[in-house]
Amino acid sequence: MEEKKKLWKHIKAWVDGEEVILDADKYIITRSKKVKKDWRRQFSVETIKGNTKLYGFLSVAISALFIGIMLSVVNDLPEFGNPSNPVDNEVMERYLESGIEETGAVNFVAGMILDYRAFDTFAEANVLFLAVMSVVLLLKKDKQNYSEKEERENREDDFFDENEKRPILKIGGKILAPLIILYGIYVVLNGHLSPGGGFSGGTIIGAGLILYASAYGQKKMQTFFTFRTFTLICVGGLLTYCACKSYSFFTGANHVGFEIPKGIPGNILSAGFILPLNICVGLIVACTMYGFYALFTKGDI
Amino acid sequence: MEHINWIHNIPFFSIFLAMLCGIITALVKNGKVAFKIHSTMVFIVFIMSVILLLSVVKNNEIFTFMMGHFPAPWGNELRAGPLEALMAVTFSLVMLLTVSGGAEFVFKDVVEEKQSLYFIMLNALFGSMLALVYTNDIFTAYVFIEVNTIASCALIMAKGTPQSMVGTTHYLVISLLGSGLFLLGLCILYSITGHLLFPQMKEAILEIIKTDQYRLPLLVVTGFMFIGIAIKSALFPFHSMLPGAYLAAIPTSSGILSGLVLKSYIILGIKLIYCVFSAEVMHTLKITEVLFVFGLAGMVMGSVYAIRERKMKRMLAYSSVAQIGYIYMGIGMGSRVGMTAACFHILAHAITKTLLFLCCGSFVENSGGKEKIYHMRGAALRNPLAGIGYTVGALSMIGVPLLAGFISKIYFATASVYSSGKMAAVLIVLGVSMVLNALYFLPSVIAIWTPEKGKENKPNFSVSPLFAVSIVGFVILNFVLGIFYRPITRIIQMSIELLAQ
Amino acid sequence: MSEVIQIILLVFLVACALAVSLTKNLFVAVIVFMGYSSIMAVIWLFLESPDLAITEAAVGAGVDSILFFLTLKKVHYLKGTREG
Amino acid sequence: MNHLGTNFYEAVSVILFGIGFMNLLLQNNLIKKFIGLNIMDTAVYLFLAAKGYVMGRVAPVLTDGIIDAYYYINPIPAGLVLTGIVVSVSVTAFSLALVQRLYKHYGTLNMDEIMRISREEEGE
């Protein structure tokens, strides 16, 4: 009877939302003991993770099962390199046969991603932009993200940058960085004529900038590349991209406006919007890559 | 000069407007200005979506919009019908109300110089959700899923506390696993069909079913894609990312993530079911049955976890798991009636859960930053408006008549009659889950209305006007959905009919 | 002949992936991952996709590894900087 | 149908995917977790690129002025993979930034350890 009364009191307190008031300590202790025996608890991720051996065995088993299933799927898939596979259909034929006159790009891949399926590529440029903005949100110094130790380390690094000789890196950087950047620009500008394009070229330019910054210190970079320029270039590039694509989507879907002249395929000034789009993407990517580097080392651009 | 059909341009305009605002906001330093840009954008999208909805309902049509100069199998396409337009209206309305109500949390919790970055993420998130709703191309869907993932992770960690970083890491790893599986499924699907756009894929898949050639790959592909979507939308066994993330994030972010982001993946799943795999194929491959079972499990287990939980935000997160279970149960019934119920529940849950999260944020604020429910005693007395909002939301989740949650439960029960062999299971689990819902929502409602002994509980009516507007808006919406639900369900039925053609 | 080379490269790829999983040393893991990306770039040349080869060489072997190394430096893992 | 012998590229790519998946599940170290994620992504890209290849055809860049669909390989997978690589590098950068931020507060890279400390701080 006593037990029953107690239980009733507990339920009443629980419904009233005042369980802590009612002999709280005892209640919490018994409760925590109970929870451990509870069968529900045994299936939660934490307890499985606590048992390292079981967890390891399970993950290996799942992966092995996965590989097994996938191998049997691969067994059933169309043959590798066979010209009569389902992927060799009218879509690919049109890209390859009418691609030159419809997009003006000699590089069919560039023509495909920047003209036929440009919406995907626009989203992709946005992914990159969002990633760099989230890294800014995470790593840029502010009052929440600030530690004395890190400041001291950064000052030490600056000191080394200025005073250490490091001749191999410095001379190498001086000679190589312009060459790398030049090659990157070449890849960007020839995106519609040869393999490569905005993204690969931009990455190469970014790598050149990173080499220069690591050889001569970020202070020197900041003379011509600040956070303001970074934002302006990124936003400007994306806005140009957005404007070009909006124009072509709008006119294409509504059958209005005039088409951009395609030029003679093979010339550098050809292929309609593909060249400016490649340049925009290249600028964005180069800034983004250098931005990642700068934020990762100093927490600022 | 041909005649331009401006209404058909609305999906394209909405997506690009959102993305454009996201880009422009990077130039703005001040968070308040960014907030104004964001609200204006969402409002314009809302107006446009309403026009689109009225037009497609009047004409009873689904149209495709060509993105660029090249028609279907070569270029990208958008596609809009009543379902898409209805979801766009809901998303923009909920987004508008949530962000205007939750702006004060953003201005309080996010570091001042980074507030504008938060709004970049919101704009991009909104754009990507619209794109997921409107897309007619599977690769576009994948890319926008990634946009969505990065933006939602950024929203979670915007608070900058260590806990939010841990929550974000957990969320990021699990979401990336989900999108990896989706991508793998996409690749195999491309290799056996040779297309990337929904209608062409559907034809190829029907051909495959007829010739029986790539049957095993097709089964595995469907499995992977739906596991990917289930991970992304936190169906029961994959829900472990939600509680930590929602607890650590700003209430605004939690509300948007739970109310809208999870739903956008489900809408993508529904579109995949009807436009790519087609309902019959899903039925022959028994995928709907699996979804049904996991939905039922999620309904019960989510509630059980929620009862055990002592922190309010975590409790709401587990309750989301249960509600996602409801939606998957509706999808898994495999009938059009079940799908209608699921779609209605998406709307009901979107407006209710965001309301609950906003009120919960306000309670946490006026009980001195304490998260546990018994620290929030009397919180509703200190802020009566939020208290009323929370009560209405909780009652709607339990399924009290006149509120939105009740209608969706009625629809689920009705739908169970039409699906043979599932009726008993649905009705029993529905009843159990309603009781469980009441078991965890009622104590929290009672707790917030009980005055704390020995403490003054002075009501504070000086809430910010935007917060008041948004709470009142949500409450009214809840009643509207609960009383005048007929036109909405008719639109949903119509759109399901159109999709299934 | 080219098929033999491709198979050898693929075996290297799997070996690199296993090595990344098995090594205890993070520095070694990142270096091996760099090698993995370079091998991938060569394989893409064999698959007649020069666009991908350029991009993978620039991204996987270049920028990705730089980002990994910078993170290792920041978490005080690299020898010769600030250990521990 | 028995194509496992000819489909060796795809076979290797699914094995790589499995290894990456295992890394993601088993590794406690965050950096190795994210390397595993990268391996997973590249494995899918290898799969896709292999599906686009056709024996005896050349890269999809106009050569010798030949306009003929049976002379070049399929350009679609290449385009998709290009997009995918961009996505994966963005995700990598984001996750590594997250790792730095976590290390700054918790002083460790071990995910379990981080979860434990954060749960203690939360006061459960």
Mean pLDDT (whole number) for A40-65: 69
**D58-98 tens-digit pLDDT:** 888 877 777 777 788 888 888 889 889 989 999 999 999 99
Give the per-residue pLDDT at B2: 57
Number of domains in chain D: 1
CA distance B46 to B95: 10
Residues of chain B with C-beta less than 8 angstroms from the C-beta of A123: 128, 131, 140, 143-144, 147
The minimum CA-CA distance between D67 and chain C, rounded to whole Å, is 17
Residues of B within an 8 Å Cβ radius of D: 139, 143, 146, 149-150, 153, 157, 162-163, 165-166, 168-169, 172-173, 176-177, 180, 183-184, 187-188, 190-191, 196
Greater confidence (A2 vs B297) lies with B297
Average pLDDT, chain A: 79
Give the per-residue pLDDT at A255: 77
Give the per-residue pLDDT at B443: 87
Question: Tokens 């434990």, residue?
Answer: D116
Residues of chain A with C-beta less than 8 angstroms from the C-beta of C71: 296
Average pLDDT, chain C: 86
Number of inter-chain CB pairs under 8 A, A vs B: 198
- Contact yes or no for D74 and A106 at CB 8 A: no
The minimum CA-CA distance between B392 and chain A, rounded to whole Å, is 18
The minimum CA-CA distance between A250 and chain C, rounded to whole Å, is 29
**B316-349 tens-digit pLDDT:** 999 999 999 999 998 888 888 888 999 999 999 9
Predicted ipTM beyond 0.95: no
The band of A301, judged by pLDDT with boundaries at 50, 70 and 90, is: confident
DSSP string, B58-78: HHT--EEEEESSS-TTTSEEE
Mean pLDDT (whole number) for A48-52: 62
Residue A54 has pLDDT above 50, yes or no: yes
Average pLDDT, chain D: 85
- Give strand pairing partners of B66: B77
What single-letter DSSP state applies at residue A196? -
Domain map (residue ranges) of chain C: 2-74
Degrees to nearest 5, angle at CA B404 with B402 and B405: 105
What single-letter DSSP state applies at residue B372? B
Query: Which chains contact D through at least 3 pairs of Cβ atoms less than 8 Å apart?
Result: A, B, C
Name which of D27, D29, D26, D24 is nearest D43 in CA terms: D24
Whether residue B112 contacts residue B369, with contact meaning beta carbons closer than 8 Å, is answered with no
Average pLDDT, chain B: 88
Residue B190 has pLDDT above 60, yes or no: yes
- Contact yes or no for B23 and A69 at CB 8 A: no
Contact of D57 with chain C, judged by CB distance below 8 Å, is answered with yes
Nearest to D94 among B139, B143, B150 (CB): B150
Whether residue B88 contacts residue B130, with contact meaning beta carbons closer than 8 Å, is answered with yes
Give the per-residue pLDDT at A50: 60
Give the per-residue pLDDT at A38: 43
Residues 6+ apart with CB under 8 A from C42: C9, C53
Cα torsion C66, C70, C73, C75: sign: negative
The answer to whether residue D27 is domain-embedded is yes
Query: Which chains contact C through at least 3 pairs of Cβ atoms less than 8 Å apart?
Result: A, D
CA distance B158 to B153: 9
Chain D contacts in chain A segment 60-89 (CB below 8 A): 60, 62-64, 66-67, 70-71, 73-83, 85, 87-88
Residues of chain A with C-beta less than 8 angstroms from the C-beta of C66: 207, 210, 293
- Per-residue buried b or exposed e for B16-37, using 16+ beta carbons within 10 Å of the residue's own CB: bbbbbbbbbbbebeebeebbeb
Whether residue D13 contacts residue A58, with contact meaning beta carbons closer than 8 Å, is answered with no
The answer to whether residue D2 is domain-embedded is no
Name which of B11, B137, B14 is nearest B72 in CA terms: B137
Greater confidence (B122 vs D66) lies with B122
CA distance A21 to A82: 75
The minimum CA-CA distance between C52 and chain D, rounded to whole Å, is 6
> What is the distance between the terminal CA atoms of chain D, rounded to a whole angstrom?
57
Give the per-residue pLDDT at B95: 92
Give the per-residue pLDDT at C3: 83
CA distance D34 to D92: 7
What single-letter DSSP state applies at residue C80? T
Locate the chain A residue with the closest alpha carbon to D3. Answer: A75
Residue B13 has pLDDT above 80, yes or no: yes
Locate the chain D residue with the closest alpha carbon to C34. Answer: D35
Structure tokens given for B132: 């997921």
Residues of chain B with C-beta less than 8 angstroms from the C-beta of D40: 180
CA distance B141 to B221: 16
Give the per-residue pLDDT at A48: 52
- Contact yes or no for C51 and A109 at CB 8 A: yes
- Contact yes or no for D104 and A145 at CB 8 A: yes
Residue B27, classed as helix, strand or coil, is coil
CA distance A42 to A33: 14
CA distance D69 to B119: 47
The answer to whether residue D110 is domain-embedded is yes
Structure tokens given for B12: 């394209």
Question: Tokens 């001195």, residue?
Answer: B368
> What is the distance between the terminal CA atoms of chain B, rounded to a whole angstrom?
34
Which range of A254-268, B258-272, D45-59 scores highest in mean pLDDT? It is B258-272
Lowest mean pLDDT among B50-64, B465-479, D55-69: D55-69
Greater confidence (B398 vs B461) lies with B398
Residues in chain A, overall count: 301
Domain region containing D29: 8-122
**A108-152 tens-digit pLDDT:** 888 888 888 888 888 888 999 999 999 998 888 888 777 788 888
Whether residue A123 contacts residue B143, with contact meaning beta carbons closer than 8 Å, is answered with yes
CA distance B182 to A285: 26
Whether residue B39 contacts residue B102, with contact meaning beta carbons closer than 8 Å, is answered with no
Amino acid at B469: V
For the CA atoms of B477, B479, B480, B485, what is the dihedral angle to 10 degrees?
A: 120
The minimum CA-CA distance between A299 and chain C, rounded to whole Å, is 11
> Is chain C touching chain B, with at least 3 CB–CB pairs below 8 Å?
no
Residue A155 has pLDDT above 50, yes or no: yes
- Contact yes or no for C50 and A195 at CB 8 A: yes
Structure tokens given for B410: 């009625």
Residue A9 has pLDDT above 80, yes or no: no
The band of A33, judged by pLDDT with boundaries at 50, 70 and 90, is: very low
Domain map (residue ranges) of chain B: 1-284, 286-501
Give the per-residue pLDDT at A39: 44
- Per-residue buried b or exposed e for A245-279, using 16+ beta carbons within 10 Å of the residue's own CB: bbebbbbbbbeeeeebebeebeeeebbbbbbebbb
Name which of B229, B148, B215 is nearest B185 in CA terms: B229
Mean pLDDT (whole number) for B88-93: 93
Mean pLDDT (whole number) for A241-254: 84
Give the per-residue pLDDT at B97: 92
Q: φ and ψ at B448, to 5 degrees?
A: -75, -20
Chain-centre distance for alpha carbon D92: 10
Whether residue A77 contacts residue B213, with contact meaning beta carbons closer than 8 Å, is answered with no
Amino acid at A240: T
Question: Tokens 């089964």, residue?
Answer: B219
CA distance D24 to D39: 10
- Contact yes or no for A296 and C74 at CB 8 A: yes
**B137-155 tens-digit pLDDT:** 899 999 999 999 999 999 9
Residues of chain D with C-beta less than 8 angstroms from the C-beta of A93: 69
Structure tokens given for A147: 């530690």
Chain-centre distance for alpha carbon A165: 35
The answer to whether residue D62 is domain-embedded is yes
- Give strand pairing partners of D72: D58
Contact of D45 with chain A, judged by CB distance below 8 Å, is answered with no
Site from C30, C51, C69, C74 to mutate, A interface, most A CB atoms within 10 angstroms: C51
The minimum CA-CA distance between A43 and chain D, rounded to whole Å, is 17
Greater confidence (A262 vs B166) lies with B166
The minimum CA-CA distance between C20 and chain A, rounded to whole Å, is 16
Residues of chain B with C-beta less than 8 angstroms from the C-beta of A40: 304-305, 308
Amino acid at A179: L
Mean pLDDT (whole number) for A214-227: 82
- Per-residue buried b or exposed e for B216-239, using 16+ beta carbons within 10 Å of the residue's own CB: ebbbbbbbbbbbbbbbbbbbbebb
The CATH code of the domain that includes D82 is 1.10.287.3510
- Contact yes or no for C60 and D29 at CB 8 A: no
Residue B195 has pLDDT above 70, yes or no: yes
Kindly state the percentage of chain A with pLDDT values over 70. Answer: 84
CA distance D99 to D95: 6
Give alpha helix (H) positions in B212-256: 215-232, 241-248, 251-256
The minimum CA-CA distance between A92 and chain B, rounded to whole Å, is 9
Domain map (residue ranges) of chain A: 2-76, 90-298
For the CA atoms of B317, B318, B319, B320, what is the dihedral angle to 10 degrees?
A: 60
Whether residue C27 contacts residue D36, with contact meaning beta carbons closer than 8 Å, is answered with no
The band of B94, judged by pLDDT with boundaries at 50, 70 and 90, is: very high
Residue A42 has pLDDT above 50, yes or no: no
Mean pLDDT (whole number) for D99-117: 86
Q: φ and ψ at A107, to 5 degrees?
A: -85, 110
The minimum CA-CA distance between C79 and chain D, rounded to whole Å, is 17
The band of C84, judged by pLDDT with boundaries at 50, 70 and 90, is: very low
Residue A20, classed as helix, strand or coil, is coil
Residues of chain B with C-beta less than 8 angstroms from the C-beta of D106: 162
